[in-house]
Structure 1
Amino acid sequence: MRTYYDVQQLLRQFGILIYMGNRLYDIEMSRIELKQVHESGLISTQEYLQAELVLRQEHSRELEYQEKMRKRNG
């Protein structure tokens, strides 16, 4: 698992589709749902940790991007 899209596809296997209209919120909700899927025993700890790492990286990138856009737009 390497991308946010991969994590979305993993969640989709369990009928979880997330769209909140803000990518940062989508990533945060994905982390919550991923944790629930793991705690339910539906994915392995390794899958969970890989997906969690991807989500942390994407969250960080999105925060940087939004901050950059805020500075650019005043």
Structure 2
Amino acid sequence: MDKMMDIYDLLKKYGTYIYTLDRFGDLALMEDEIRELYKANVLDIKDYQMALLLLRQEATRLQVEQNK
């Protein structure tokens, strides 16, 4: 898992589709879903950590773009 599309694909695999008009809201919902999948022992620790890292990096990137 090394890009946002991998997270979208992972969530789709488990029937979760997140597309709203609010990009930050999407990222928050995706993080919640990833946490729930981990709690349900569906994801291993490596995928869980990488997904959270990617989501937070994307949120930071969006925040920087917004502040330009």
Taking the TM superposition and a 5 Å limit, the aligned residue runs for 1:43-54 are 43-54=43-54
Indicate yes or no: 2:58 matched with 1:58: yes
Q: Which residue of 2 aligns with 1:17?
A: 17
Structure 2 gap segments, 5+ residues each: none
Identity across the alignment (%) = 29
How many residue pairs match? The answer is 68
Inter-partner Cα distance in structure 2 for 1:19 and 1:66: 20
TM-score, normalised with respect to structure 2: 0.92
Q: Which residue of 2 aligns with 1:71?
A: none
**Alignment root-mean-square deviation, CA:** 0.9
2:29 aligns to what SS in structure 1? helix
Structure 1 gap segments, 5+ residues each: 69-74
**Hey, which bits of structure 1, 4+ residues long, moved more than 4 A?**
none
TM-score, normalised with respect to structure 1: 0.85
